[in-house]
Amino acid sequence: MIQTLLLSRNPYRVVILVLLALSVILMTVPVLVPFDPNHVDMGNRLQPISVEHLLGTDHLGRDLFSRILVGAQTTVGTSIFVLSIALLIGIPIGLISGYIGGRIDRMMMRVVDAFLAFPDYLVAIVLSGLLGPGMINLVIAIVTVKWVGYTRLVRSTVLSEKQKDYIAGAKINGLSSFQILLKHMIPHILGNVMVLATLDIGKIILMIAALSYIGLGAQPPSPEWGAMLNEGKSFFYNAPQLMIIPGLSIMIIVFIFNLLGDYLRDRFDVKDQKGGL
Query: What are the residues binding other proteins (CB under 8 A)?
Result: 114, 116-122, 125-127, 129-132, 165-166, 168-169, 172, 202, 206, 209-210, 213-216, 226, 229, 233, 236-237, 240, 243-244, 246-247, 250-252, 254-255, 258-259, 262, 271-277
Of 38 and 258, the one with the shorter C-beta distance to other proteins is 258
Please identify, using beta-carbon distances, which residue of 145 and 185 lies nearer to other proteins: 145
Closest approach, Cβ 219 to other proteins, in A, equals: 13
Please state the closest distance from residue 30 (CB atom) to other proteins, in A. Answer: 26
Kindly give, in sequence order, each residue whose CB lies less than 8 Å from that of residue 82, ignoring residues fewer than 6 positions away.
Answer: 139, 142, 143, 146, 204, 208
Q: CB 249 → other proteins: shortest distance, Å?
A: 10
Neighbouring residues of 174: CB distance < 8 A, sequence distance ≥ 6 = none
CB of 214 to other proteins, least distance (A): 5
Backbone torsion region of residue 8, taken as left when φ is above 0, otherwise alpha when ψ lies between -120 and 50, otherwise beta: beta
Burial (CB < 10 A; 0-12, 13-18, 19+), residue 116, is middle
102 or 132: whose CB is closer to other proteins? 132
Residue 44: CB minimum distance to other proteins, A: 24
Q: How far is the CB of 245 from other proteins (least distance, A)?
A: 11
Q: Which is nearer to other proteins, 65 or 213 (CB)?
A: 213
Closer to other proteins at the Cβ: 92 or 119?
A: 119
Nearer to other proteins among residue 96 and residue 112 (C-beta): 112
